[in-house]
Structure 1
Amino acid sequence: MSSIPSVPEFYADRGLFITGATGFLGKVLLEKLLRSCPDIKSYYLLIRPKKGKESQERLEEIFDSKLFDKVRNLYPDFKLKCFAVEGDIIKEGFGIEQSQLDILAREVSVVFHSAATIKFDEEMKLSVEMNVVGVRRMLELCKQLPNLVSFVHISTAYANCDQSEIREEIYPPPLSPKQLLSAVEWMDAETLNTLTPKMVGNRPNTYTYTKSIAESLINEEHGSIPTAIFRPSIVGATYMEPIGGWVDNVNGPTGLLAAIGKGVLRIMKGDFNATADLIPADLATNMLVCIGWYTGTHRSEKMKVFNCTSGQLNKLTWGQIERASYNYMMKNPLENVARIPNPRFTKSVIWHDMNVLFDHMLPAYMMDFYMWISGRRRMFVRIQDKLRKAVGSLEYFTSKDWVFSNDNMFMLEECLSPEDRKTFVFNPKTIDWPTYMETYCLGTKRFVLKEEISQLPQARKSLQRLQRLHFLFNIVIFVVIWRLLVKRVAVARVIWNMVLGWAVRILQKLPGFARST
């Protein structure tokens, strides 16, 4: 073991090529490498121009994030070793200029491929182009890097979600990569969209479908490239480092927490007792860095697959998320809350649909009517329409359970030195879920909704006012319904008079009431 370098020693003086650095996990990966492996020589980050911004400009925007504050303090010159490589995974050869290809061939020895479309409802043609063809292009590029010692592909634990038990191995794909690529090449988008439900079969979306085929493609075509596949489950906000609760998008659980906190999401389909296989981004990134190290230092003829999941090691249920999101959104409320948070999971389709109608849509129409008569822009029905679509794409994952094997995770942990285990913690058993969920709720508030923690006292007062209004509204509704019953039912009238009599007697015993009478 003494001849095997530590993780930072392995990465020292190397050039790294990373795709997907503008994505959530890609940013956390880049930050961790910059902070924990300070002797890395250079980073080459594939970034496409977007919305009139050049690649280098987009890279500078990434570094402006609070995520990089700790790196800025530790290594003020860290930007000097980071280079934006203009390109796009949907272009032949990634669209990289020859001069930059020459630099990559000379400098790069480790590759992390994270770029992909993560939209669950992406059209099949684009999903294949990005998640399958993009992987083939990456393999072709890797074969042009003579110094390459480690290539890690980021997949998903749900690539094979048609299986109930998912081991760390490659499963037969629903369609061979060659057949799929051939079909996509000659079919137009409209035809593919028509065939998509049949192609996807018992998988929930094009994302998991194409990720499965991409894994099979890598298995068939990686050749002599030292390759590993990394499969994280549902990646959530950071747990501990560099900032607790950091997240920069509304995908997955983050969108649910924001909608719950605002009071616009009150019910969704899901199993209260099913496992919510959540993995904090910093733990996922730590494991990813170590997989890059392991692949480069422990040469193996067989490609290894690493499941990065928490369900069998430190279980968290959707019911626990339901309760935690309510508790922490009441403790640390969001600003401009529409309704009091009241999240609920249900397996009953009828109960779900009734609640959507009466507890989502009807209040949304009422609030939009109020906005209209007060001369303001109507938004609540539109929000509910978007929310219903977003939540619908997650119902498959909130309603099922999977059993993931984690043998390679434990093997990887055993291979690390004691010091590296402290620096690169990825064992899910270290997570305290209540602490994490409160941190996640606060992170959603701070980093996604851009709300200041200093405004929490005001937000709490606003929520208390909303609670009082809600209580008064419920009393008015109860009184109106009861009075209607009193007029028609003799028993109800008797009960009503008894309740009033008790109330008067109680009030008469109060000193203030007695003096006033």
Structure 2
Amino acid sequence: MGTEILNMLTPKMIKDRPNTYTYTKSIAEYLVHEARGELPVAIFRPSIVGASWEEPVPGWVDNFNGPTGLLAAIGNGLLRNMIGDPSKTADIIPVDTASNMMIACSWITAVNRSAIGNVYHCTTGQLNKLTWGMVEKDSYKYFMKNPVNTVTRIPNPRFTKNLIHHEILMLFDHMIPAYIMDFFLWIQGKRTIFVKIQDRLRRSVGSLDFFTSNEWQFANGNLYMLLNKMTTEDQKTFNFDPKLIDWSKYMERYCLGTKQFVLKEELSELPRARKNLQRLQRINLFINVFGLIILWRLLMNRFTMAKSLWNFLMGWAVKIFKSLPTLMKAT
């Protein structure tokens, strides 16, 4: 089919599903269920697969899929505003947790054929909740502690439920800075990139709005049924208990893993990256102070009350400054 026909048919086919990705997952499960016959088959459903918790090393990840792409853009300072509800569950599951549970599912399905057709949810939401607000807070905290080398702006991720607020932030915090940075690249004779990056980011992040604004309840009975059938030794070897995940430690590992394994940056370069971030903080402080001074001067010229308040504050500042020598002698 041509693109035009597909675009017409897609909404009718997927109906109330958010995208074709979830629709094709459903089709795959249906086909497996219909065609399994007497084969020992189970359905394994991980939620949002993220970086590893422990294996092969903490924070390991090898692609930009899912939350990793968001973290890379947050770390670079390119992604600062997203549609989402900070109180909703970010049902991220570490890749090694999902892998361990998948192996255990294969084992129990093969040895216990009465479990044929079972569905196993590998999720964390009802067992050890991580919210998008926690992702926002921790990604800021750990990218400030361990910044990426290519940071262009101070990392400052924010989720908002209000579409109008989001569009205002996108204009002033994304697009206008992107045009300004491209202007400086243009006058230096370099290729402009920041507006194009923002356009791509907007399309990419927009596809996640449905998932960052909603949450779901998953039944986890089969997860603990599976754990209880395993020996203590196997439980340690194939650990997939979501309650054992420390989300603050996990997010620090995830941010470092994104820097090290996806952005291909050496941890030995962290001191230089921190100096670069400190320079950006000083520039940001200067711009904010300069902007406030200009705004205040404009208000003073336009409003008598603002001018009176300015004169009052300056008068007090002069009095305090003059009294400093006397106060210092007294102490």
Residues 285 and 510 (structure 1), Cα distance of their counterparts in 2 relative to 1, 3 Å cut: farther
- 2:93 pairs, out of 279, 290, 306, with 279
Q: State the Cα deviation string for residues 381-409 of structure 1 (Å, max 9, x = none).
A: 01001100110111110000100001111
Q: Distance in 2 between matches of 1:465 and 1:331?
A: 14
Residue correspondence of structure 1 range 341-352 to structure 2 within 5 A: 341-352=155-166
Superposition deviation, residue 469 in structure 1: 0.9
Which structure shows the bigger proportion of residues in helix conformation?
2
Are residues 1:406 and 2:240 paired?
A: no
Superposition deviation, residue 190 in structure 1: 4.2
Q: Distance in 1 between matches of 2:107 and 2:206?
A: 38
**Unpaired segments ≥5 residues, structure 2:** none
Are residues 1:197 and 2:11 paired?
A: yes
Superposition deviation, residue 491 in structure 1: 1.4
**Contact in 1 for aligned 2:42/2:116 (Cα 8 Å):** no
Residue correspondence of structure 1 range 447-466 to structure 2 within 5 A: 447-466=261-280
Are residues 1:485 and 2:296 paired?
A: no
Partner of 2:104: 290
Superposition deviation, residue 499 in structure 1: 2.4
Residues 278 and 509 (structure 1), Cα distance of their counterparts in 2 relative to 1, 3 Å cut: farther
Query: Structure 1: which amino acid aligns with 2:306?
Result: A
Q: Distance in 2 between matches of 1:484 and 1:283?
A: 57
Which is bigger in relative contact order (C-alpha 8 A, separation at least 6)?
A: 2
Residue correspondence of structure 1 range 53-452 to structure 2 within 5 A: 187-188=1-2, 190-300=4-114, 302-452=116-266
Q: Distance in 2 between matches of 1:191 and 1:466?
A: 49
Superposition deviation, residue 413 in structure 1: 0.5
Q: Distance in 2 between matches of 1:490 and 1:407?
A: 68
Q: Distance in 1 between matches of 2:69 and 2:253?
A: 15
Q: Distance in 2 between matches of 1:334 and 1:506?
A: 43
Tell me which moved more, 477-486 or 298-307: 298-307
Which structure shows the bigger proportion of residues in strand conformation?
1
Q: Distance in 2 between matches of 1:246 and 1:510?
A: 57
Equivalent residue of 2:53, what SS?
Answer: coil
Q: Distance in 2 between matches of 1:286 and 1:302?
A: 19
Q: Distance in 1 between matches of 2:237 and 2:197?
A: 42
Partner of 1:25: none
Query: Structure 1: which amino acid aligns with 2:135?
Result: I
Equivalent residue of 1:227, what SS?
Answer: coil
Equivalent residue of 2:295, what SS?
Answer: helix
Q: State the Cα deviation string for residues 215-250 of structure 1 (Å, max 9, x = none).
A: 111111111111111100000000111101011111
Tell me which moved more, 380-389 or 194-203: 194-203
Superposition deviation, residue 191 in structure 1: 2.0
Q: Distance in 2 between matches of 1:301 and 1:366?
A: 60
Alignment length, in residue pairs?
326
Q: State the Cα deviation string for residues 338-396 of structure 1 (Å, max 9, x = none).
A: 11111111110100011111111111111111110111111000100110011011111
Equivalent residue of 2:86, what SS?
Answer: coil
TM-score, scaled relative to structure 1: 0.61
Q: Distance in 2 between matches of 1:276 and 1:316?
A: 5
Query: Structure 1: which amino acid aligns with 2:162?
Result: S
Query: Structure 2: which amino acid aligns with 1:451?
Result: E
- 1:469 pairs, out of 283, 307, 316, with 283
Q: Distance in 2 between matches of 1:252 and 1:282?
A: 15
C-alpha RMSD of matched pairs (Å)? 1.5
TM-score, scaled relative to structure 2: 0.95
**Contact in 1 for aligned 2:89/2:132 (Cα 8 Å):** yes
Partner of 1:52: none
Equivalent residue of 1:403, what SS?
Answer: coil
**Contact in 1 for aligned 2:109/2:115 (Cα 8 Å):** no
**Unpaired segments ≥5 residues, structure 1:** 1-186
Query: Structure 1: which amino acid aligns with 2:42?
Result: A
